[in-house]
Structure 1
Amino acid sequence: MATVRLVPTVRRRRLGGTLRRLRNEAGVSIDAVSEGMAWDPSKLSRIENAKAHLPVKDVARLLSHYKVTDSAVITALEGLAQDANKTGWWTTYGNVVADGYKDYIGLEEDAASTHIYAQGLIPGLLQTGAYAREIIAGTAPHLAPDDVAALAEVRKKRQAILTDSSRPNGPLKLWAVIHEAVLSYRSAAQPSLMREQLRHLLDMTDLPNMTIQVMPKDAPAHPGMVGPFHVVRFPSPWPTVINLENIRGGYFVEGTDDVQAFESGFELIVAAALPVDDSRETIKKIMEGTPS
């Protein structure tokens, strides 16, 4: 399976990779383009490999060598070039936030929508603070209490994209399919934890950009049984990225055929899950049977 390990300068990597693809599709060499731009050949190579900055004023001129005239593509690349060197709010947490997690948050910030199949946990974008702290402490027992609190804070800050209308594409559109077993988690230390978490899920279903479905325990076999994943979609011309999670963090899948497999898999997961209204009733029923 084709995978790409993104680095912290994720926007710069996306810009460089797109420029390389467009150059290859145009069938022109680095030397030829560099001559036309009056650049040293090493400059374009460094830009494509995310090791050099591309000034916004040079984007359209560079794209003209690739015969790219679509104004939407040019504008998108100019925007990415402008933001390529910006550091995200998550960088202020230093090494507490692992590089792979920083990469994912950076992608999430630019995304138009995210489709998630959650098999063992409530998705981070839908977690309450108390649930986040307990889950982080339980799944990463090596972390100090201060680090657990910091990561829970990061998780809550991520959730701002669900209601931020100032984003270029508006609030992130989130479609989450959550396995029913996840809703039945019980905390020995905090008996009311899940009641609060389930109430939060119900509240989130009121948002127009939110779709939440429950995968019932008696659902037929479906692709999600293999494991959880995120389908992260961006405005054109950026390709969709898949994020796969495991106990050591996550990694990205970007190959066209691989992405299509996960997108098709998510459609089958949606079909196997309860309809939205039935899912809401299931969450409410489980919540009402949970200690307050």
Structure 2
Amino acid sequence: MAGSPTMRRRRLAAELRRLRTEAELSITQVVTRLGWPGSKLSRVENRQIGISVTDVRKLLDLYGVENVQQVRELIELARRSKERGWWESYTATLPTETRNMIGIETEASLIRAYSQALVPGLLQTPDYAHAVIRAARPTDSQEVVNERVEIRLARQALLDEQGAPQLWVVLSEAAIRHVVGSSAIMTTQLRSLIKERDRTNVELQVIPFSAGEHPAMVGSFWLYSFPAPNEMGAVYIETMNGALIMEESQDLDTYGDAFDRLRSAALSPRDTRELIRSLATDRV
């Protein structure tokens, strides 16, 4: 069973949608038979609202689900989907999409990221993270900025846990050349990236300027995959005022193909390490 409340809600909504489809019932038919408000089931299936254990039982009865084990698992999903992950306590600091992303991130078995201008949050040093967040949110109080840095660093613990995901990052050369914070902060960040390569679950490549045009010149993205074969992945894209999470198969295919082409055009992990090492040395 999913360990993240976000993933429990995601999985429960997907299962309820699948069971309704197998029962050959429309949303309108279901809400009419149960006497629910017209938009309730649609919002449940789209994870806009949660659902009680009582309502899950009503749906399973209506859908004709008789397998005792299946009923028990779905009821448990519904019960535990009410739990809160550590990141969900930061409602005043993080938008909903970002909190959802962290919940998805905690269960991913493979995380692929392309970053156009920045070192990704999972690999940022504290000072680098502070400089990036302060630049993006110049009007925030120091307390809010510090809290966002705290959240970003807390996410990094994921890479050291048992069963940690594989992280594969492709950086634009701009991300390692653009000075963030100060020359000293940038040097420390570059040295940290070299150390990250000592982790067996972290792969890092740089796509050089000389590679020319590539499929992700429009911007950065994160791509999450999960161990269960029937679990759909997710694409996460940040904007200046929020974020977007996409889960359609067409989006997953598009970004998966783009990432494959990016890593093919990028320097090898070994050459990437040498390039970053040389840049860190030049800054001393």
Determine if contact 2:6/2:104 at 8 Å carries over to the other structure: no
Unaligned runs of 5+ in 1: 1-7
Does structure 1 conserve the Cα–Cα contact (< 8 Å) formed by 2:20 and 2:63?
no
Q: Return the offset for 1:28.
A: 4.4
Structure 2: how far apart are the matches of 1:163 and 1:75? 33
Report how far residue 200 of structure 1 moved.
1.1
Q: Whole-Å Cα distance in 2 between the matches of residues 162 and 80 of structure 1? A: 26
Distance 1:244 1:94, change over 3 A: closer
Query: Per-residue deviation at 1:191?
Result: 2.7
Q: Distance in 2 between matches of 1:242 and 1:143?
A: 28
Kindly report which structure 2 residues correspond to 1:134-153, keeping only aligned pairs within 5 A, or say none.
Answer: 134-153=131-150
Alignment match, 2:172:
179
Q: What whole-Å deviation, never above 9, does each CA across 1:29-78 have from its counterpart, x for those lacking one? A: 679999xxxx95649938546431348x969x779946999x9x999867
Which residue pairs with 1:198 in the alignment? 190
Q: In structure 1, what is the Cα distance between the partners aligned to 2:66 and 2:217?
A: 45
Q: Is 2:227 the partner of 1:218?
A: no
CA distance in 2, matches of 1:270, 1:9: 30
**How much does 1:106 deviate?**
1.3
Q: Distance in 2 between matches of 1:64 and 1:226?
A: 44
Which amino acid in structure 2 is aligned with residue 251 of structure 1?
Answer: L
Q: Aligned letter for 2:169?
A: A
Which sits farther off after the overlay, 73-82 or 19-28?
73-82
Q: Whole-Å Cα distance in 1 between the matches of residues 203 and 281 of structure 2?
A: 21
Q: Which residue of 1 aligns with 2:20?
A: 23
Task: Judge conservation of contact 1:233–1:240 (CA < 8 Å) in 2.
Answer: yes
Q: Please state whether the residue corresponding to 2:182 is helix, strand or coil.
A: coil
1:110-259 map, 5 Å = 110-165=107-162, 170-187=163-180, 190-236=182-228, 237-259=230-252
Unmatched 5+ stretches in structure 2: none
Residues 1:279 and 1:12: Cα distance change in structure 2 (over 3 Å): same
Using a 3 Å threshold, how does the CA distance of structure 1 residues 76 and 229 change in structure 2: closer, same or farther? farther
Shift of 1:220: 3.2
Report the CA distance between 1:277 and its aligned residue.
0.9
Call closer, same or farther: CA 1:113–1:231 in 2, change over 3 Å: same
**1:177 partner SS:** strand
Partner of 1:5: none
Q: CA deviation at 1:133?
A: 0.2
CA distance in 2, matches of 1:212, 1:67: 48
Change (3 A) 1:74 1:287: farther
Q: What secondary structure is seen at the aligned counterpart in 1 of 2:164?
A: coil
Q: Structure 1 residue 138: deviation in Å? A: 0.8
2-structure distance, mates of 1:208, 1:74: 39
Q: Which of 265, 276, 287 is 2:280 aligned to?
A: 287
Counterpart CA distance in 2 for 1:111 and 1:242 is 12
Identity of aligned residues (%): 33
AA aligned opposite 2:283: T
Q: What's the C-alpha RMSD, in Å, of the aligned pairs?
A: 3.5
Aligned residue for 1:226, secondary structure, equals coil
- TM-score normalised per structure 2: 0.82
Structure 1 counterpart of 2:184, which letter?
S
SS of the residue corresponding to residue 91 of structure 2 reads helix
Q: State the 1:88 CA deviation.
A: 1.2
Q: Is the 8 A contact 1:47 1:53 kept in 2?
A: no
Rounded Cα–Cα distance in structure 1 between residues aligned with 2:208 and 2:71: 45
1:139-187 per-position Cα deviation (integer Å, ceiling 9, x unaligned): 111211111111001000001111110xxxx102111001111111224
